[in-house]
A and B are shown apart, each in its own frame.
Chain A
């Protein structure tokens, strides 16, 4: 844990060997947190059966 009580960012395995300067991490982390907050808020409204294939079904049902 960092001193302020927040969890220290861990570099994901998918970026192993790639260096991200701290000043960019300072931009990335709050940005993706905001995206995550939206995803969680939207996710909370979805029925369990919501499926990625719904998109094609709705798109293709137009005009039928």
Chain B
């Protein structure tokens, strides 16, 4: 049994039926974690002893015939931005909370209650404020498919460890593309949920108006299982939605025949020709699965991006202003430079971006989504860049370089819309991916589309680790 290729659903089944023990699975994951970290700088800290002890407990429970959760004995690892009782998350930064957390992040608690075992806290861009995987404080992360390339960010370690088969799934966050970009760069899948669908309590805030927490996995079924566990209202996050949570995994094989997927050719035309060609190939696969292509148009994509930037830059400036003034030298050059922008944006512009959000979302749902169910877009605009090409630090090219990387991702955060990233067929290319952007709370149908796509293009693991 090649453990690194199994999904979380498959691993849980193998452990539950005692084809393999949780201790064996966790030990195998820890061994691979070490190898991957040495090459990719994917890990901040490991939980070796706690993880193996938890695995023994799960094995004993299964042996005794006890009921166990749907992720019993499955190793997971998450972006190092979530509270864990007794620990101080690094946030990928030098500036951290002063005292250990009193309790676990509620999402980690739910995953733990489902039987999963956290084996590590993973690399992230400093304060989750960067889309490439560059981190000038804890070191740049590297792509497991090609060590000279960016792994994407800010949930870099999560995507790396899923791609390399260390764990089948991991949590990350997405303020402007931070789940989708690393997933695309590392050839795996991710789901940025509708804003408010998943609690952000106990997670490091970057820009609360935009922040979303979500899963990265190789198999869309694992995204569905994890979404079923983490979605839903949380009293610790007053903004979290009270809508009932669908059985995402139970709905994943629902028919996708006739689902209308919108194609905005003008917007897609801003991508590199190779990306346009690969996107067209992905669209043909979706059509073979039963989806119907329709033409759509986003009226003013650039304005959506600008409004998202205003919210993000102002909220970051407010949160980090006191630290920037007192401990500026503790920030890496890129994050420090980006944090300065928000201090120069008028407060009236920030309020306009907030006031306009409902009007603009309503218009997009009526005009762009008026005759389609979801929209297909590139995730990355260009073929996967090298780490050196985007090593711009805090220099004058910073905003243009980053703006190009997140050209297709930030507007979904401003609109609060869910977005599923899927990898293109890899063929002879470097990894890359596209996104399906959906209507609010339509994650179940989007995951079904992803499942239909993966029947032709199944998830892959990087071999050789």
Contacts and interface: CB of A to CB of B under 8 A. Distances in A.
Nearest to A23: B396
Interface in A1-53: 9, 12, 14-18, 20, 23-24, 26-29, 31-32, 34-36, 38-43, 46-47, 50-53
B328 A18 contact: yes
Given A38-B306, A39-B352, A62-B439, A52 B357 contact: yes
Question: What's the dominant secondary structure at chain A's contact region?
Answer: helix
Q: Which of the listed residues A15, A17, A35, A36 has the most CB atoms from chain B within 10 Å of its own CB?
A: A35
B307 A38 contact: yes
Nearest to A44: B352
Interface string B341-366: 10111101101111111111110010
B344 A59 contact: no
Interface in B347-388: 348-349, 351-362, 365
Contacts of B353: 39, 42
Interface in B258-273: none
Given A23-B396, A35-B309, A59 B196 contact: yes
A16 B325 contact: yes
A31 B361 contact: no
Nearest to A36: B349
B343 A15 contact: yes
B356 A46 contact: yes
A55 B416 contact: yes
B302 interface: yes
B280 interface: no
Nearest to B243: A60
B340 interface: yes
Given A24-B340, A52-B355, A58 B361 contact: yes
A50 B344 contact: no
A58 B349 contact: no
A42 B343 contact: no
Contacts of B241: 60
Interface residues of B, number: 50
Contacts of A9: 344
B306 A34 contact: yes
Contacts of A42: 303, 307, 352-353, 356, 360
A62 B306 contact: no
Contacts of A53: 358
B317 interface: yes
Contact of A46 (B349, B352, B361, B365): B352
Nearest to B416: A59
A40 B346 CA distance: 11
B321 A14 contact: yes
A15 B324 contact: yes
Contact of A62 (B313, B346, B352, B365): B365
A17 B322 CA distance: 10
Contacts of A20: 340
A54 B359 contact: yes
Interface in B308-354: 309-310, 313, 317, 321, 324-326, 328, 337, 340-341, 343-346, 348-349, 351-354
B198 to A, nearest CB: 14
7 A-B pairs with the lowest CB-CB distances in the bound complex, closest first: A54-B358, A39-B349, A38-B306, A62-B440, A52-B354, A55-B357, A43-B352
24 contacts: A12-B344, A14-B325, A14-B343, A15-B325, A16-B325, A18-B325, A18-B340, A32-B345, A35-B309, A35-B349, A38-B306, A39-B306, A39-B310, A39-B346, A41-B303, A42-B353, A46-B352, A50-B355, A50-B356, A52-B358, A54-B355, A59-B195, A59-B440, A63-B439
